[in-house]
Structure 1
Amino acid sequence: MHRVWIVAWLLAAALLAPNLTPGAQAQGNELCFQETGLCIDARFAAYWQQNGGLQVFGYPTSRPFYALNADTGRFHLMQWFERNRLEWHPDNAAPYDVLLGRLGDELLRAHNIDWRNAPRESGPRQGCLWFAETGHNVCNQAGALGFKSYWERNGLRDPRLNAFGRSLALFGLPLTEARMETNSSGDTVLTQWFERARFEWHPDKPNDFKVLLGLLGNEYPREPEGPPPNDPCANIPAPHAMFIEPNCVRVDGVMIIGLSSLQPNQEVTYVVQRGDGSVVVGPQIARADGEGRYRRFVRPSEWGLTPGDYEFVAQTGQDNGGPSRAFFRVLP
């Protein structure tokens, strides 16, 4: 009981003073916690504070690290928290330069639960939020208290979105109906899964804490933490007069290479060479389409490439300051 009271007090203080997180100390632009001995990376600290802090994300449970995002096929700076994982996407405009992991979806799949094939509810229920996309309602459990009110009350701080859009951006769609489950702490509680969170109903707690978010970050299976690595995709030069996406990929990953502003059906000679200039692919011929564009999806393994830095060089015959070039890196 004493431990629960301490946690509740900390969360209440965070709610009453969102700019002052108990136990947190600013070190430069980082936010550090005596409770865990860990700091929130400067790129994540403002997002953490502005969008729910301890209540929504919990304490940091790892140092920042670089890892492959399966959705983008690129390496991103990430950091684990008790309830989620934050990812740094510098190509996006704020506040979407920080994105939340879809841990609700990922953990359900890790438990061999395919929510897409699970039974859907028959339709909207009175007083609830209905999500036709997944076929589930989000309802309150006790008058004005419950999952519906919690979902509506919290959201991503983006002034361009309405209240519904802000909540959707933070938690995502409901993936299951509300049902009794036993969580990792051994509590059997009413539970509803969302794309980025798991809502739990704790009727014995004070009103502000009857809805708690599951500790998805703690429950997610992950490799033991090692020393923080350097960004394996850093310092790759920008392309010239063409594009490549992504420019950092595993041997069996997929990237797209493209040229534009060519003549319709124009033939272009290209090579792939190492950083030292030695040619490993080509010369080969690429042909533009009828609109003067060339696109190709390719795996480095198709070209027999091994880990290292490479350059795609195309002789287009255009007056654009030399050949078109795209630099890329192949990872193990």
Structure 2
Amino acid sequence: MSDQKQRTKYVAENRNPLARSPLRPKTPGAAKSAGAAAGAADPDAPTQVNSAYRLPAWLRNRWLTWVLALLVVLGLISLVLIFWPTGEQLQATPTSQAKLSDAQPTAVGQEVLGGGTSSGAPAAANQIPAGDTPAIGATFADYYTAHGGLQILGRPISEVLTVNGRQIQWFERARVEHWPEYAGGTYEIQLGRLGAEYTTGRQFATQQFFVSRADLRFFVETGHSLGGAFLTFWEQHGGMAMFGMPISEEFDEVLPDGKAYRVQYFERARLELHPEVAGTPYEVQVGLLGTALSQNESRPTTIQPVPTAVPLP
């Protein structure tokens, strides 16, 4: 056999199996030899072909890297969801209006005040019977004097209590709360949301939207209006910071004394119209919700009528 033929045969026999093409035999003997050679290579052929379909090492490593990265991301997301603070854990942030406490405090380590069922008509501020009363806490003394004192807050009816980690004191017409997280700021001393707490579960029909004017205001946030003597009193005695927004319309309500009074509920108070002292500074009074809530008095159930729509200008 010539050198050229030997070289060609060697190259053909040692080529990659996937690229190997059988040599066309020129003679029957050559074909038989080629068939025998191919038969001898058959046991190894499947191994060679399968290995060609395996992922290269670099690709397998990259795929593993992506899987691990995905698992890490999913783990981080799970941790965030587990430890993300809920609405109860988030610290309240001051807004343009005074912060409203979220719920009626429940005494910690001591009994809740009162528990009796006595009730009576709210007396005029200058007619509250004299008697022994608890001292106003040092934390609240300046606030009490600067925010209406007896007329707006009434007499103290409890000592200073520590409730849910903060100091509070009950007054006849309010509950004053100390928020140390706002120390030195406008919101350090606040009034509790007695109006909202006292009317829990009651539904008040809302007013149809109208454009506010000087003698009648509409509060989009609550869907209620405020006007007349209640608006004048509200504006003269602290407005939003003291009483919050209206949460009802004004309507006639039968109070625990069995008499009907013109009232309107606000987030932190109930304003009442007392015609028996008309023409005096006590014609409009802040209701005794502090006494009612701390003593667990019975609550009125009067249904507020649907308000009359305000005519468009």
Query: Structure 1 length as normaliser, TM-score?
Result: 0.48
Structure (1 or 2) with the greater strand fraction: 1
Q: Report the alpha carbon displacement of residue 221 of structure 1 after superposing the two structures with TM.
A: 4.7
Q: Report the alpha carbon displacement of residue 202 of structure 1 after superposing the two structures with TM.
A: 1.3
Whether 2:254 is the aligned partner of 1:182: answer: yes
Is the alpha carbon distance of 1:96 and 1:135 closer, same or farther for their aligned partners in structure 2, counting shifts above 3 Å? same
Is the alpha carbon distance of 1:7 and 1:193 closer, same or farther for their aligned partners in structure 2, counting shifts above 3 Å? closer
Is the alpha carbon distance of 1:88 and 1:113 closer, same or farther for their aligned partners in structure 2, counting shifts above 3 Å? same
Is the alpha carbon distance of 1:198 and 1:55 closer, same or farther for their aligned partners in structure 2, counting shifts above 3 Å? same
Cα distance in 2 for residues equivalent to 1:81 and 1:50: 15
1:78 to 168, 183, 188: 168
Structure 1 match to 2:282: 209
Is the alpha carbon distance of 1:150 and 1:80 closer, same or farther for their aligned partners in structure 2, counting shifts above 3 Å? same
Q: Report the alpha carbon displacement of residue 10 of structure 1 after superposing the two structures with TM.
A: 6.2
Amino acid of the residue matched to residue 142 of structure 2? A
Whether 2:241 is the aligned partner of 1:152: answer: no
Q: Report the alpha carbon displacement of residue 209 of structure 1 after superposing the two structures with TM.
A: 1.2
2:143 to 35, 42, 47: 47
Q: Greater RCO between the two (CA within 8 Å, min separation 6)?
A: 2
CA contact (8 A) 2:261 2:272 kept: yes
Give 3-state SS (helix, strand or coil) of 2:225's partner.
Answer: strand
Q: Report the alpha carbon displacement of residue 206 of structure 1 after superposing the two structures with TM.
A: 3.4
CA contact (8 A) 1:36 1:61 kept: no
May I ask how many residue pairs the two structures share in their alignment?
Answer: 171
Give 3-state SS (helix, strand or coil) of 2:157's partner.
Answer: coil
CA contact (8 A) 1:64 1:79 kept: yes
- Within-5 A mapping of 1:62-141: 62-68=158-164, 75-92=165-182, 93-109=184-200, 112-114=201-203, 118-124=204-210, 127-140=215-228
Which structure has the larger Rg?
Answer: 2
- Within-5 A mapping of 1:1-332: 7=124, 9=126, 35-68=131-164, 75-92=165-182, 93-109=184-200, 112-114=201-203, 118-124=204-210, 127-140=215-228, 146-155=229-238, 167-207=239-279, 208-221=281-294
Cα distance in 1 for residues equivalent to 2:188 and 2:195: 21
- Deviating more after overlay: 171-180 vs 93-102: 93-102
CA contact (8 A) 1:104 1:197 kept: yes
Give 3-state SS (helix, strand or coil) of 1:105's partner.
Answer: helix
Q: Which runs of 5+ in 2 are unaligned?
A: 1-120, 297-313
CA contact (8 A) 2:272 2:287 kept: yes
Q: Report the alpha carbon displacement of residue 172 of structure 1 after superposing the two structures with TM.
A: 0.2
Is the alpha carbon distance of 1:7 and 1:194 closer, same or farther for their aligned partners in structure 2, counting shifts above 3 Å? closer
After superposition, the C-alpha distances for 1:116-159 in whole angstroms (9 at most, x for unaligned) are xx43111237621211111111111xxxxx1010001011xxxx
Q: Which runs of 5+ in 1 are unaligned?
A: 12-22, 24-33, 69-74, 141-145, 156-166, 224-332
Runs (4+) off by over 6 Å: none
Q: Percent identity?
A: 34
After superposition, the C-alpha distances for 1:207-249 in whole angstroms (9 at most, x for unaligned) are 21111111000110558xxxxxxxxxxxxxxxxxxxxxxxxxx
Amino acid of the residue matched to residue 81 of structure 1? F
Structure (1 or 2) with the greater helix fraction: 2
